[in-house]
Amino acid sequence: MKKADLITGVVLLVLAGYVIYEAWLMPPSGTFGPGSGFFPFWLGIILTGLSLILIVGAVVRPKDPNDVSPFPTRQALFAVTKVLGGLVIFTVLMETIGFISNTFIFVTYLMKVVQRERWWVTLLIAVGTTACLYIVFQVLLGITLPRNMFGF
């Protein structure tokens, strides 16, 4: 946790600096009372203080042998990236290849590549999920889901 706190502390400190800088540049209120930069400015100041407490706390704290690192293992990180990567591609393709084919491909990917299911389970779930979402959103809720150039 010590290392993690140091890193988050520095990241938050940089963020706070950016916020204060931006808030400083915002135009002062035209009439009276605080302007638009007032609130973010003070938030930035508070965040500066908090991140300093975090950093100092991490430095001062004695090394604890039972300290567990919060960073995920390489294996866990790989599993998470696989899901996230799929989701990003799913989002990019949403408006080009249409909802039905896109969802089918994405669920197939999640079942087969990420979770290594058998083919018949994969296809069953992919068809089932796509149909289920189509019925809920398009039929019951009447929302027009994106289609591809072939109209589905």
Applying CB under 8 A, which residues contact another protein?
A: 1, 4, 8, 12, 19, 22, 26-27, 29-30, 32-40, 43, 46-47, 50-51, 53-54, 57, 70-72, 76, 79-80, 82-84, 87-88, 90-91, 94-95, 99, 103, 106-107, 110-111, 114-115, 117, 125-126, 129, 132-133, 136-137, 141-145
At position 140, the amino acid (one-letter code) is L
- Please identify, using beta-carbon distances, which residue of 12 and 148 lies nearer to another protein: 12
Please, which residue, 40 or 148, has the CB nearer to another protein? 40
Minimum CB–partner distance for residue 59 and another protein (Å)? 15
Burial (CB < 10 A; 0-12, 13-18, 19+), residue 24, is exposed
| Locus of tokens 């149909």 | 131
CA distance linking residue 48 with residue 17, whole number of Å:
7
Helix axes 99-109, 119-133, angle to 10 degrees: 140
Q: Which is nearer to another protein, 10 or 22 (CB)?
A: 22
Phi first, then psi: what are they for 151, rounded to 5°?
Answer: 90, 15
